[in-house]
Chain A
Amino acid sequence: EPEVTQTPSHQVTQMGQEVILRCVPISNHLYFYWYRQILGQKVEFLVSFYNNEISEKSEIFDDQFSVERPDGSNFTLKIRSTKLEDSAMYFCASSELGTGRNEQFFGPGTRLTVL
């Protein structure tokens, strides 16, 4: 069964460093998303991406964040200068279509720890 994959599973970085989180969405899906879950809190939407551009972004997704689809398979989230409060589980998701009724398939997540 097709699945969303994410690498690495765990990333430890120093405050101020840049990190890139990688995702491979399901191959025939067109819409891609990043969410994050700070420990003990709810899952929060960061950004959606379609047709090589950002569709929507939340207020969390500030200038420190960027997304890219560098090739036909990968979808990346970059944090330019990490802060302690960026420590969270980051989930990538994809869906076949961008309508409300379509299921978003989630990857296993990348746990980011900023020291």
Chain B
Amino acid sequence: AQSVTQLGSHVSVSEGALVLLRCNYSSSVPPYLFWYVQYPNQGLQLLLKYTSAATLVKGINGFEAEFKKSETSFHLTKPSAHMSDAAEYFCAVSDPGSGYALNFGKGTSLLVTP
């Protein structure tokens, strides 16, 4: 089954600093990868997705992610953090073995300090 691993359950950055959230995948076939964000007491919102087109994917709110097959990675970045970026971020892979259900990573909580 396809799976993802998120390194770092908590990441803290200063406002204006680079955000880097790590995600590595395990897949026997070309994967479809997603990043979702969960703000407190809200549902999951799609930030961006990789579906085998361009390896650099741009999403909402200034986030982007680069698919690197050689590193089996799909890290999420943002050049300059805002206070409003504080949230839980989930990497997910679509699993063809379970009807394309999403397999989520454990999540990374992003804290942005002034």
Contacts and interface: CB of A to CB of B under 8 A. Distances in A.
Interface string B38-79: 000011111001011000000000000000000000000000
Contacts, number: 61
Interface residues of B, number: 26
Interface in A64-114: 91, 93, 98-109
A100 B32 contact: yes
Nearest to B92: A43
Contacts of B99: 48, 55-56, 98
A58 interface: yes
Contacts of B90: 42-43
Contacts of B100: 48, 98-100, 102
Contact of B42 (A41, A45, A103, A108): A108
A101 B44 contact: no
Contacts of A100: 32, 51, 94-96, 100
A91 B106 contact: no
A102 B92 CA distance: 13
Interface in A10-62: 33, 35, 41-45, 48, 55-56, 58
Given A42-B90, A56-B99, A101-B94, 11 more contacts: A42-B104, A43-B92, A43-B102, A56-B98, A58-B101, A100-B32, A100-B51, A100-B96, A101-B51, A101-B52, A103-B46
By Cβ-Cβ distance, the 10 closest A-B pairs, closest first, are: A56-B99, A100-B94, A101-B51, A100-B32, A45-B101, A106-B44, A108-B43, A43-B104, A106-B43, A100-B100
